Chain A
């Protein structure tokens, strides 16, 4: 990879600091483009080590109610894939260090054109992709182009991934592994810490890549527990719900939204720095 590998540098730095990283998920354009941009720019200062930016889709079939609603809010306020990439480009004007991973569903990229998307994503300063509905069986038209262009291809490993499948999933995976701690959708239940520890331990037998754990991590306590067993803790729905709590009855961001969400992120990050 010729470009600066922000993902690798970040995990190296975290390792040197002896702690796991906080991965924060927000949906691009939620609740509106400008608020979302400002929020994204504040995340690193609040304690986010990596940013996952959701590419909104009308039918997010792996997401729970909180992120579904965020997708619809963002779409209602005019987000598009093009504007999502613009958000990253704007973010890069003031932040060269924090990795940005785009997460979403294939159809908007398919319509944009995979080759054009990969080119524009690289140009905007995107570091990697997590594609929810592209299992290894279906990912060749995007995965190859993305990896060739220097984007990390982060795959999801789940409680249903058996040994045989694991090999297939880990092939072509780069940057880090995203371990989905429950069989389920985002923002619903939480896994038992013991089960996640076992799964991450088993996963380490098969890969030397950093492992981030997500789905069902809502509190600073859960972030801390996850940080003890994994290299990163992903928080999404809890942040989205805080955004939701700071909307007025018309769905417009209240003045204190940025401050409140930043405070939540700081509190979550605290769990990894004590």
Chain B
């Protein structure tokens, strides 16, 4: 969207990226093997056509409404607000989506594109299993075979989601290379793609990977921010003061933030601080990493001095990724979005706070966002408004939480 034309000084728009080479400033791009380049270019062309197509848009909206259950409510968390004693806190309830998280917004968009492109096989990577479930779901719906790469370590940690994917007909490939987590799953999915170039469509789960994925996934997820923007205008007659969302790769955050980037709204992304940024056990790529190249794009990464990627750690498997979407890296360097981090134990406290005050069991991912909300809301006045993306429900996390609390179930 163009910035307002009546300003005396031309306003820079934060919503116009990426450029035609897929760059957000110095970030993004297409750092892939030559074998994949023609595929990535095909995908870019096909997506470019699809996004202009009223029919594609109609299909996307149809399934969003009747299958996913959009729009998701924007809910005033009264009890939490009173407990925190400051700003009004609203939850964007994307945990109420079919499959229990925001991931379905993106997988629906991509599978509709895969169908348009005549692809006959779907692959995906998954960490916590939410994207894997969302991909297996749309593959069942559209009757396409689905192969999900998942780190062997994550498979152990996420047995319920593994079973869900199997029920939905997906084949799960355990990834033992590297450290057996999300980054390795993504490596193996890329290796599969390079070996099955003709028929396979790779549904990437976050706003990372080679161009056009970061922009495409953001576009599909931006339904969150578009809805939230009109919902808050309707509820409060004005824009919020602050947006808060958690960030692993950053798709739920990008989806909420993007429609607000040119508005006078504070925006905060919350990374997973694990045991703390002063330890090596965290997943905060922006606040604890530096720019590098991995998985097809240039972005902030956790890495050692020699450029070897280091392991991320978070209590939340969905945030356990050593990189971040390139647009976030750009927004960070531009100073448009503030990026902070929250530790495992702070997230765990916020998780319980949400259960007790609102009767909502959140996923551990948005519990990170909530932990930050709990820090800032009391310092804000009662007329101010925070909108937080409650991007996933926590059923999948009850074992992890019980374990962390030292409770046997």
The interface of chain A, by Cβ under 8 A from chain B, is: 56-62, 64-65, 68, 72, 75, 80-82, 105-112, 132-135, 137-138, 155-162, 165, 169, 180, 182-185, 188
Q: Which residues of A contact B190 (CB under 8 A)?
A: 61
Which secondary structure dominates chain A's binding surface?
loop
Contact call A169/B30, Cβ cutoff below 8 A = no
Counting from the closest, the 7 A-B pairs by CB-CB distance are A111-B307, A108-B307, A184-B195, A158-B35, A58-B308, A107-B307, A62-B33
Q: Which residues of A contact B178 (CB under 8 A)?
A: 58-59, 68, 72
Stretch of B102-110, B221-229, B279-287, B292-300 that contacts chain A:
B292-300
Q: Which residues of A contact B196 (CB under 8 A)?
A: 183
Q: Which of A56, A107, A135, A156 contacts B294 (CB 8 A)?
A: A107
Contact call B30/A111, Cβ cutoff below 8 A = no
Q: Which of A62, A80, A165, A188 contacts B38 (CB 8 A)?
A: A165
Q: Which of B34, B38, B307 contacts A155 (CB 8 A)?
A: B34
Contact call B33/A81, Cβ cutoff below 8 A = no
A82-B196 Cα distance, complex, nearest whole Å: 36
B29 within 8 A of A: yes
A1-B95 Cα distance, complex, nearest whole Å: 61
A167-B194 Cα distance, complex, nearest whole Å: 21
Contact call A62/B194, Cβ cutoff below 8 A = yes
In the complex, what's the smallest C-beta–C-beta distance from A31 to chain B, in angstroms?
17
Q: Which of B29, B197, B293 contacts A160 (CB 8 A)?
A: B197
Contact call B38/A161, Cβ cutoff below 8 A = yes
A182-B194 Cα distance, complex, nearest whole Å: 9
Contact call A81/B307, Cβ cutoff below 8 A = yes
Q: Which residues of B contact A134 (CB under 8 A)?
A: 31
Q: Which residues of B contact A169 (CB under 8 A)?
A: 34
A62-B36 Cα distance, complex, nearest whole Å: 10
In the complex, what's the smallest C-beta–C-beta distance from B63 to chain A, in angstroms?
31
A113-B217 Cα distance, complex, nearest whole Å: 31
A56-B178 Cα distance, complex, nearest whole Å: 13
Contact call A80/B306, Cβ cutoff below 8 A = yes
Closest to A78 in B: B306
Closest to A108 in B: B307
B33-60: which residues lie under 8 A (CB-CB) from chain A? 33-39
A-B contact pairs, 10 of them (CB 8 A): A61-B295, A68-B178, A81-B306, A107-B303, A107-B307, A108-B306, A135-B37, A155-B34, A156-B33, A183-B194
A169-B33 Cα distance, complex, nearest whole Å: 12
B309 within 8 A of A: yes
Q: Which residues of A contact B31 (CB under 8 A)?
A: 106, 133-135, 138
Q: Which residues of A contact B21 (CB under 8 A)?
A: 137
B305 within 8 A of A: yes
In the complex, what's the smallest C-beta–C-beta distance from B203 to chain A, in angstroms?
17
Known: A138-B29, A160-B38, A180-B35. A188 touches B303 (CB 8 A): no
Q: Which residues of B contact A110 (CB under 8 A)?
A: 291-293, 307
Q: Which of A61, A111, A156, A184 contacts B34 (CB 8 A)?
A: A156
A185-B187 Cα distance, complex, nearest whole Å: 11
B265 within 8 A of A: no
Known: A106-B31, A110-B307. A62 touches B191 (CB 8 A): yes
B13 within 8 A of A: no
A108-B292 Cα distance, complex, nearest whole Å: 9
B65 within 8 A of A: no
Q: Which residues of B contact A160 (CB under 8 A)?
A: 34-39, 197
Contact call A132/B33, Cβ cutoff below 8 A = yes
Q: Which residues of B contact A183 (CB under 8 A)?
A: 35, 194-197
A171-B29 Cα distance, complex, nearest whole Å: 20
